[in-house]
Amino acid sequence: MALTNNKNVLAWVDEMVALTKPDQVVWIDGSKEQLDALTEEVTSLPEGNRDKMYKLNPDKLPGCLYHRTLPNDVARVEDRTFICTKNKEDAGPTNNWMDPEEMKAKLTPLYDGVMKGRTMYVIPYSMGPIGSPLAKVGVELTDSIYVVLNMNIMTRMGVDAFKNLGDVSNDFVRGLHSKADVDPENRYIVQFPEENTIWSINSAYGGNVLLGKKCFALRIASFQGKNEGWMAEHMLILGVQKPNGETVYITAAFPSACGKTNLAMLIPPEGYQKDGYKVFTVGDDIAWMKPGKDGRLYAINPENGFFGVAPGTNEKSNPNALACTRKNTIFTNVALNNEDGTVWWEKLDKNPPVDATEWKGAKVNGPEFIAEGNTLAHPNSRFTAPAENCPCISPEFNNPEGVPISAIVFGGRRASTTPLVYQSFDWTHGTYMGSAVSSETTAAATGAVGVLRHDPMAMKPFIGYNVGDYWAHWLEMGEKLGDKAPKIFNVNWFKQDEEGNFLWPGFGDNMRVLDWIIKRCEGKADAVETAIGYLPKKEDLNLTGIEDEVTPAILDKLLAVDTDLWKKEIAEMRRYYQDDIAAKGGKVPAELMAELDKIEARLNK
């Protein structure tokens, strides 16, 4: 039975039913009875059915499920992801583009009758707390129970999501997903930003099919934000509670493999804990930010769970993330421990199960399989865990108004050049810093150390429109916020010495850098003015307890600004703006070009 009288929802569902021709249509109300029944159905599928999910040990991992996707379908597919705007220029140089009508003509035959013999699930969901002025409604149509159960964790799913839509509003995002034949040759992840529409076909992997996440909350939402005066960013949100009980909120954007989830769930060093500092997680991946009534920038996490990479997560690296996964969690492409019906992944502990099922489904002897050079879990295997499981979830997580942001932090993995932390001179300079976010490949990953990958604002795969217009929107937001704008910082946890040793301990000790950032926001710390921005005075970084590790000589290296390296950096940014952006149809705002000149002039002084 339809769960809404909204005429636009009903008309669109009818149209998509006529196209995909499912045997039946089930509206997802979000009730426990319905979800339990779907769980029974999907876990009762015969062995070998590719949709099958497994129940895990109810004592050790209560409410947890396990699933494997096809080996050809384990990650986001950027080369098959499209932004379809009427004009090619509106998609810009960082996106694949096709004319919307052409794309629909191409995909319509793939969708025609694709759900024959299947059930279509109609999933209403809210990105953001229901009723929040920052929240948005989505509806996803899918032929996958796995998608329904994951969306239940990642979003506020069910009939309540329709509450504020009314009968006539057209302000909802239409997502159509079919796993079809999971055919990689016909896999498409397509955004139509001008129509609030997403079409995803031939994948069953999270990032491609949980349409609320990257497709809506970043690609479509960034486009909406530009038109409506807000921002959708690939940022974690955390709160640092100070000993006086006040909490300061910070967002941070990093390219992948830079420790975003670890920073979001940071455990402060002992000294800070003793002093009464606490870190709370509001989000680990996405922030929607809008000016509030007081003129400050407020952020919500539009998601309701964490879709985290499992390998590397352990009691030491991120005990909070591990705790998130101990109940009501879905594990995908990790290994099964058949000895006790639990799961295992690389670096969880030093005891891979002897009786294991590896991520592709073969029964193996875990230690032997690893000794032969294999991994038991896929490197991009995931947990889908409810945010409410997080021991350090912020008490403001469901606050419909969001949290006021004091600082925005950018970062990347840089062996040299970029100091541990520095602050921009102003919002425009900070926007430049965001546009310059890049990460170096490591020797382990590519064989070539120091190859720079540009990833502006860590948003390269997620900006749903022209990157030049996106930077212009950042500048406009800065103007609107004026002196209430968050301060902008850049951090680099990955600076190395000549031998390739990391100079900074990272993890919980990153709290020391957050501490300086907060003091700067509050006007309680001075700074050294350099050509690239404000750096900490050495005595202002609290190194109590790590003096042996971070000696004065190491601190000098961490905070060094090497003029020659920075001249090279600026030359590379000129090349990037020119060759990768402007020459390919992106308008680099004049203000950002001017920042290059300003930094260069300061370096030459």
Would you say 165 or 408 has its CB closer to ligand OXD? 408
Based on C-alpha coordinates, what's the Rg of the chain? 24
Of 233, 285, 303, 358, the residue at the interface with ligand OXD (CB under 6 A) is 285
How far apart (Å, rounded) are the C-alpha atoms in residues 332 and 40? Answer: 18
Find which of Mn ion, ligand OXD, none residue 358 binds, CB within 5 to 8 Å per kind.
Answer: none
Q: How far is the CB of 262 from ligand OXD (least distance, A)?
A: 13
Q: Establish if 207 lies at the interface with ligand OXD (CB under 6 A).
A: yes
Would you say 459 or 592 has its CB closer to ligand OXD? 459
How far apart (Å, rounded) are the C-alpha atoms in residues 457 and 437? Answer: 6
How far apart (Å, rounded) are the C-alpha atoms in residues 56 and 67? Answer: 10
Q: Which of 391, 389, 395 lies closest to 249, judged by CA?
A: 395
User: Are 224 and 232 in contact, with CB atoms under 8 Å apart?
Assistant: yes
Q: Establish if 80 lies at the interface with ligand OXD (CB under 6 A).
A: no
Quickly list DSSP for 481-546.
Answer: HGGGSPEEEEE-TT-B-TTS-BSS--GGGHHHHHHHHHHHHTT----EE-SSSEE--GGGS--TT-
> Half-sphere exposure (CA, 13 Å, Cβ side) for 78?
8
Quickly list DSSP for 249-274.
Answer: EEEEE--TTS-HHHHHT----HHHHH
How far apart (Å, rounded) are the C-alpha atoms in residues 415 and 14? Answer: 54
Find which of ligand OXD, Mn ion, none residue 515 binds, CB within 5 to 8 Å per kind.
Answer: none
CA angle 411, 413, 419 (to 5 degrees): 65
| Catalytic position from the list 258, 324, 390, 392 | 258
Of 164, 256, 398, 441, the residue at the interface with ligand OXD (CB under 6 A) is 256
Would you say 145 or 154 has its CB closer to ligand OXD? 154
User: Are 310 and 377 in contact, with CB atoms under 8 Å apart?
Assistant: yes
At 371 the three-state DSSP class reads: helix
At 460 the three-state DSSP class reads: coil
Tokens 């990955």 belong to which residue?
A: 494
Would you say 28 or 467 has its CB closer to ligand OXD? 467
Please count the residues of this chain forming the interface with ligand OXD, following the rule CB under 6 A. Answer: 5
Please count the residues of this chain forming the interface with Mn ion, following the rule CB under 5 A. Answer: 1
How far apart (Å, rounded) are the C-alpha atoms in residues 404 and 193? Answer: 28
Would you say 214 or 414 has its CB closer to Mn ion? 214
Would you say 307 or 471 has its CB closer to ligand OXD? 307
Would you say 285 or 595 has its CB closer to Mn ion? 285
Q: Establish if 595 lies at the interface with Mn ion (CB under 5 A).
A: no
Backbone angles phi, psi at 131, to 5 degrees: 90, -10
Q: How far is the CB of 584 from ligand OXD (least distance, A)?
A: 23
Would you say 308 or 419 has its CB closer to ligand OXD? 308
Of 90, 285, 303, 455, the residue at the interface with Mn ion (CB under 5 A) is 285
Q: How far is the CB of 63 from ligand OXD (least distance, A)?
A: 23
Q: Establish if 255 lies at the interface with ligand OXD (CB under 6 A).
A: no
At 215 the three-state DSSP class reads: helix
Q: Establish if 303 lies at the interface with Mn ion (CB under 5 A).
A: no
Q: How far is the CB of 326 from ligand OXD (least distance, A)?
A: 21
How far apart (Å, rounded) are the C-alpha atoms in residues 65 and 331? Answer: 6
Find which of Mn ion, ligand OXD, none residue 212 binds, CB within 5 to 8 Å per kind.
Answer: none
Q: How far is the CB of 520 from ligand OXD (least distance, A)?
A: 28
Q: How far is the CB of 123 from Mn ion (least distance, A)?
A: 21
Q: How far is the CB of 453 from ligand OXD (least distance, A)?
A: 14
Among all residues, whose Cβ is closest to ligand OXD? 285
Of 35, 54, 73, 76, the residue at the interface with ligand OXD (CB under 6 A) is 76
Beta bridge partners of 242: none
Q: Establish if 379 lies at the interface with ligand OXD (CB under 6 A).
A: no
Find which of Mn ion, ligand OXD, none residue 496 binds, CB within 5 to 8 Å per kind.
Answer: none
Is residue 258 part of the annotated active site? The answer reads yes
Q: Which of 414, 407, 74 lies closest to 236, judged by CA?
A: 407
- For Mn ion, the binding residues in 433-462 under the rule CB under 5 A are none
Q: How far is the CB of 461 from ligand OXD (least distance, A)?
A: 8
> Half-sphere exposure (CA, 13 Å, Cβ side) for 346?
18
Catalytic residues: 258
For binding to Mn ion (CB under 5 A), which residues are involved? 285
For binding to ligand OXD (CB under 6 A), which residues are involved? 76, 207, 256, 285, 307
